Amino acid sequence: MKNSSIAITEAESRVMNALWKQAPQTSEEIVGTLTGPTDWHEKTIKTLLNRLLSKGAISVQRDGRRYLYSPELRREDWRKHESRSLLDRVFGGKVAPLLAHFSQHEELSAKDIAELRKLIDAIEKKGR
């Protein structure tokens, strides 16, 4: 029962995010999306796409002379993996300290709070 966690580096995650937002995309489109937010050279992005391909995080489908790229790794799975990693590495595996942390540092907007409250209600209702 491997949780199929492919490791995605910081730079690669920018590419994945572009693909999660929309897929499939040609490399040209991806380059377009990332130019501005990053100052990466087109070649750099191509390299990242290839690395992601090698590790199975994305897949391609030929479209004439070019490729159409699509994410293979699911965003939710990645988020789960990264969250758990932070939790274990930084907060000893426990959620409460993490939440306490966010709140103490006032990183929660009013909207976050409202959202949170809704969430909790939902969870409690479900649990009951």
Partner DNA sequence: TCTATTTGACTACAGATGTAATCCATCGAG
Partner DNA sequence: CTCGATGGATTACATCTGTAGTCAAATAGA
47 binds DNA, rule: CB under 7 A: yes
Rounded-to-integer distance, Cα 11 and Cα 52, Å? 11
Query: What's the token pair of residue 106?
Result: 């006032």
Quick one: what does residue 80 bind among a second copy, DNA, none, with the CB cut-off 5 to 8 Å set by partner type? a second copy
From 2, 3, 107, 125, residue interacting with a second copy (rule: CB under 8 A)? 107
At closest approach, how far in Å is the CB of 32 from a second copy?
20
The DSSP bridge partners found for residue 70 are 59
Site for a second copy in 24-83 (CB under 8 A): 76, 78-80, 82-83
Nearest one of 16, 5, 89 to 51, comparing CA atoms: 16
Helix, strand, or coil (residue 128):
coil
Nearest one of 68, 79, 75, 78 to 23, comparing CA atoms: 68
Which chain residues interact with a second copy by CB under 8 A? 10, 13, 76, 78-80, 82-84, 86-87, 89-91, 94-96, 98-103, 105, 107-113, 115-117, 119-120, 122-124, 127
